[in-house]
Amino acid sequence: MTDQRPNIILIITDQQRFDTIQAAGYDFMETPHIDRLHREGIVFNNCFITAASCAPARASLFTGHYPHTTGILKNADTWKHGWIENLHDGGYQTVNIGKMHSWPYTTPLGFEQRYVVENKDRYLEGRYFYDEWDKALRARGLVKQQRELYRQLPDYKESLGAFDWLLDEDMHPDMFVGNMAVDWIRNYPVSEPLFLEIGFPGPHPPYDPIPRYAESYLKKELNIAPVLESDLANQPEPLKAMRIHNNEVDHDSVVHLLEPTAEQRHRQRAYYLANVTMIDEKVGEIMAALEEKGLLDNSIVIFTSDHGDCLTDHGHSQKWTMYDVITRVPMIIWAPNRFGEPRAVDGLVQQMDLGPTLMDIADIPIPEPMAARSLLPLLQSGPEAASCLRDVVFAEQAKDGILTTSKFMTMVRTQDWKLVHFLDEPWGQLFDLKADPLEVDNLWDAPAHSEKKKELLALLREWRIRDSYENADLWEDYR
């Protein structure tokens, strides 16, 4: 291969919290292979997504624009284009194995090859879509574990979405995606620089790991934060309504409980973390396959996730809120000897900044306008490194089938403060993150902090005005 630009391997999990990597300081985790990436790579300790649900966050990542610009505000909003097309047109071999959550699911998106594996439990859009995993299950004569079958279990409503995977181990969706990626790497010819996106469906619910992976977690203290009555009482009305909604409707096979026991919370957390360890094992196999194929030395490996999961923290199920356990995600860029010594970056970045960063690395022109900014000067410790970091990060979430009583929710976050605004509504959230890192003391109505609230609301307003102005030419070719 004459083109010596680096291969880019982008590994994305679904709904993985930032506190799920042992090397990041969470000793209860079992993640030796992700730990390796963490020890040897550049770790972004304050990486924030731009939306509190799957498709908007992913569309933002793969376009470099905020959801209010892409118009992709909820799952199943049409999403057909992004910077993968630029990588492809710039000479990269582009391959997707696993989850992307584009809509339609099979949209090319700039990939030459797509091996689509989507949500484990599809019940609304794409309910009858057969992805690669569905086909493999059917070929083996297996019936997929999903909501209709889980509902038949006597303890379904008490399980918080945590179930045992009882089918063949290699047919678990995360095992399936990992094995498919390893097989592709080992057997498919790579004739140009490779962009390989590997999308694991887990640890998104159902929380259904192979039982042997959960055994050790069930015996551990898992550092689960208590749910405080004062926290619940001072949440905005849309979040209170969403708690009730998730209790009444079993999204992704999870029946949310308003007052789960400590034992129920612990079991759910153990099953979720066991799924992370399963994925970690596959990350190790992917790295080994890249090395066997002779690709690893000239590869950049990125590990991240699309958002986190409350796992009953703050009394909530899954995502659709703006707590850090949702909006802050793992992000590691592993490329030994390319960007100097391994190190941690504590400044704020938006996850969508990956797009222009990868195009910069691949020597491909970054399309303009683009709200995301390249982190390459930061990776290279160049004179412009400080300008890559952000003073403020933002995230958005529109009304959908889960956040049912609010039109639009926006987060503005600095290093020390966070504000959550609800369109056309009097309530909100304001957190002093230094004094209250667990975000349990809502200061929205506190007179002593009214000036801080005004300051952050002004930041939000100026950002929306500036972003709209700076990206006004985005649709120039369609006018």
Question: Is 454 inside any structural domain?
Answer: no
Angle at 82 between CA 182 and CA 358, to 5 degrees: 60
How confident is the model over 200-226, as pLDDT tens digits? 999 999 999 999 999 999 999 999 999
Structure tokens at 379: 């990776």
Query: Which residue, among 312, 311, 315, 313, has the nearest Cα to 233 in the 3D structure?
Result: 315
* CA dihedral for 400, 401, 403, 406, sign (positive or negative): positive
Q: Are 312 and 320 in contact (CB under 8 A)?
A: no
Question: Is 146 inside any structural domain?
Answer: yes
State how beta strands 93-98 and 194-203 pair. parallel
Taking 90 as the threshold, does the pLDDT of residue 124 lie above it? Answer: no
Strand order in the sheet with 428-432: 393-398, 408-413, 417-422, 428-432
Predicted local confidence at residue 82, as pLDDT: 97
Predicted local confidence at residue 293, as pLDDT: 97
How confident is the model over 420-476, as pLDDT tens digits? 999 999 999 999 999 999 999 999 999 999 999 999 999 999 999 999 999 999 988
| Alpha carbon separation from 330 to 218, 339, 394, 446 (Å, rounded) | 24, 19, 17, 32
The CATH number that applies at residue 136 is 3.40.720.10
How confident is the model over 308-364, as pLDDT tens digits? 999 999 999 999 999 999 999 999 999 998 999 999 999 999 999 999 999 999 999
Question: Is 415 inside any structural domain?
Answer: no
| Number of folded domains that form the chain | 1
Predicted local confidence at residue 478, as pLDDT: 81
417: helix, strand or coil: strand
Question: Is 33 inside any structural domain?
Answer: yes
How confident is the model over 14-67, as pLDDT tens digits? 999 999 999 999 999 999 999 999 999 999 999 999 999 999 999 999 999 999
| Alpha carbon separation from 280 to 1, 37, 202, 213, 275 (Å, rounded) | 30, 11, 11, 11, 9
Host H or E run for residue 348: strand 343-350
Range of the domain at 145: 7-386
In DSSP terms, 185 is beta-bridged to: none
In DSSP terms, 331 is beta-bridged to: 304
141: helix, strand or coil: coil
Question: Is 460 inside any structural domain?
Answer: no
Predicted local confidence at residue 59, as pLDDT: 97
Predicted local confidence at residue 125, as pLDDT: 74
Q: Are 60 and 352 in contact (CB under 8 A)?
A: yes
Question: Is 393 inside any structural domain?
Answer: no
Predicted local confidence at residue 224, as pLDDT: 97
Question: Is 427 inside any structural domain?
Answer: no
| Alpha carbon separation from 235 to 8, 48, 321, 418, 449 (Å, rounded) | 42, 22, 11, 14, 17
Query: Which residue, among 290, 299, 374, 364, has the nearest Cα to 64 in the 3D structure?
Result: 374
- Nearby residues of 118 by Cβ (< 8 Å), 6 or more positions away: 99, 101, 105, 126, 129, 131, 201
Question: Is 411 inside any structural domain?
Answer: no
